[in-house]
């Protein structure tokens, strides 16, 4: 059935949830082509744009939506969108405790390592692969283990349990802890800690390696401009101890 007809059946309700039957992308604005995220098949969303019933939908190609698994807001194209109604969004899969999450860390890091071995480039908004942005890589790795975290690096930082600020001693880092980078304590980059001072991240062209790579937290004989740059931008470390829940987690 036509997507617009499906939305009409619920009067463009902001409380109904829909499941995607194919991959799509999320845009920053109603007009323009800046992608902010990629949205995988089987993810769910609801319309949050107001008064759609009163608007002239004939000339409207995008709607503002909120994604279920991370609360993310973005615009999606309606033309060609394949969806079905999602009747129940309160599911046990969203409830994950700290022990469950810690036990999944080896699988999360193994998957990221495999992605790093594939041909890939940094892609703004990339979260499906093989091309990722920094937070898209981290979110995708956790999501594969049914652990849901926010989409953007600064959102993830506030979602995590805070561990410490750099340059304090980092002896308490564990596999899977997240590292946050930026300027003036404003986060704009995220990485995931592996072990022995090594972390993974997806970095861009201008200051990074244009894709997924390993870096070292500590000075070494293998230092280069990229490793020194990111070391100079470290803000803090955090730990994922819960899974995002639509009706409980802060957006």
List the structure tokens of 249: 């987690």
Q: Is the pLDDT of residue 250 over 80?
A: no
Looking at the chain, the number of H-run helices and the number of E-run strands are 5, 13
Tokens 């300027």 locate to 183
pLDDT of residue 2: 86
Task: Summarize pLDDT for 14-54 with one digit per residue, the tens.
Answer: 999 999 999 999 999 999 999 999 999 999 999 999 888 77
Q: Is the pLDDT of residue 88 over 60?
A: yes
Backbone angles phi, psi at 39, to 5 degrees: -120, 120
Q: Which of 6-15, 81-90, 113-122 has the lowest mean pLDDT?
A: 81-90
Q: Is the pLDDT of residue 251 over 50?
A: no
CATH fold group of domain 92-239: endopeptidase fold (from Nostoc punctiforme) (3.90.1720)
- Assigned CATH class of 3-86: mainly beta
Average pLDDT of the residues in 57-63: 82
pLDDT of residue 246: 78
Query: Which sequence spans correspond to the domains of the chain?
Result: 3-86, 92-239
Average pLDDT of the residues in 129-143: 98
- Asked if 76 and 66 touch (Cβ cutoff 8 Å), the reply is no
pLDDT of residue 249: 57
Average pLDDT of the residues in 65-73: 95
Q: How far is CA 193 from the centre of its chain?
A: 17
pLDDT class for 170, splitting at 50, 70, 90?
Answer: confident
Q: Where are the beta strands (DSSP E) in 17-135?
A: 17-20, 24-27, 35-39, 44-47, 62-67, 73-77, 83-86
pTM of the model: 0.95
Q: Which of 3-12, 46-55, 197-206, 235-244 has the lowest mean pLDDT?
A: 46-55
How far apart, in whole angstroms, are the C-alpha atoms of residue 173 and residue 239? 9
Averaged pLDDT of the chain: 93
Q: Is the pLDDT of residue 67 over 50?
A: yes
């Amino acid at each position: 059935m036509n997507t617009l007809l499906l939305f009409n059946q619920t009067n463009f309700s902001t409380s109904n949830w829909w499941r995607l039957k194919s991959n799509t992308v999320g845009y920053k604005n109603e007009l323009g082509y800046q992608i902010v995220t990629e949205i995988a098949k089987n993810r769910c969303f609801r319309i949050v744009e107001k008064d759609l019933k009163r608007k002239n939908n004939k000339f409207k190609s995008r709607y503002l939506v909120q994604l279920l698994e991370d609360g993310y807001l973005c615009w999606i194209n309606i033309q060609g969108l394949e969806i079905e109604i999602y009747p129940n969004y309160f599911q046990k899969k969203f409830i994950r405790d700290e022990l469950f999450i810690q036990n999944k860390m080896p699988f999360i890091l193994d998957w990221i390592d495999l992605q790093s071995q594939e041909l890939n480039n940094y892609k703004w908004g990339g979260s499906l692969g093989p091309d990722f942005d920094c937070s898209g890589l981290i979110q995708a790795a956790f999501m594969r283990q049914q652990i849901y975290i926010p989409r953007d690096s600064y959102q993830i930082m506030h979602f995590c349990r805070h561990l410490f600020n750099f340059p304090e001693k980092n002896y308490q880092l564990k596999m899977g802890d997240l590292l946050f980078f930026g300027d003036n304590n404003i986060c704009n980059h995220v990485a995931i800690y592996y072990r022995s001072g090594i972390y993974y991240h997806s970095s861009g062209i201008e200051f990074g390696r244009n894709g997924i790579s390993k870096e070292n937290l500590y000075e070494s004989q293998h230092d280069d401009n990229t490793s020194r740059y990111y070391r100079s931008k470290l803000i803090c470390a955090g730990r994922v101890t819960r899974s995002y829940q639509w009706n409980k987690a802060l957006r």
